[in-house]
Every structure is written in structure tokens, then in C-alpha cells.
């Protein structure tokens, strides 16, 4: 598996309201078991447009030991 949960990647995302596909950073949120079963990843697009809407949330850095 080349990617792991929490890693930042660049991928094509469909932009709401425009239908355009644009390359954006994203964070892998699926675990290894998802990839092993379905051969795909679940990720969330990251952006910095300073808009607060019901689909956006702030990410904060945390460390797990």
C-alpha cells in the first residue's frame, strides 16, 4: 500500500457548483483495511479559502504516541 492514513496527497477533485476537476491536496482518512479490501482510498480535499460552511472544518495538528 503506497499511502497511509494521515498522509497528504495531490488528487483531482470535482469542485461543487462548477463541475470542474481541479488538482488539490487531500488527506487520506481511510485505514489499511479499506485499501486491502476495496483497493481504493478515502480522502478529504484540503483547501484554504477562509470560508465557513457546513461542509468545512479546521484541521489541527496532533501527535499520537
Of residues 4, 17, 7, the one with CA closest to residue 46 = 7
Cα separation, 12 vs 53, whole angstroms: 21
pLDDT in tens, 12-21: 988 878 889 9
Q: Where are the domains of the chain?
A: 1-65
pLDDT in tens, 25-53: 999 999 889 999 999 999 988 877 777 77
Write down the pTM of the prediction: 0.65
Amino acid at each position: 500500500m503506497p499511502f497511509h492514513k494521515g498522509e497528504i496527497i495531490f488528487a483531482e477533485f470535482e469542485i461543487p457548483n462548477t463541475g470542474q476537476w481541479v488538482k488539490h491536496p487531500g488527506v487520506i482518512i481511510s485505514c489499511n483495511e479499506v485499501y486491502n479490501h476495496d483497493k481504493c482510498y478515502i480522502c478529504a480535499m484540503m483547501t484554504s479559502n477562509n470560508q465557513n460552511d457546513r461542509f468545512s472544518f479546521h484541521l489541527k495538528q496532533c501527535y499520537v504516541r
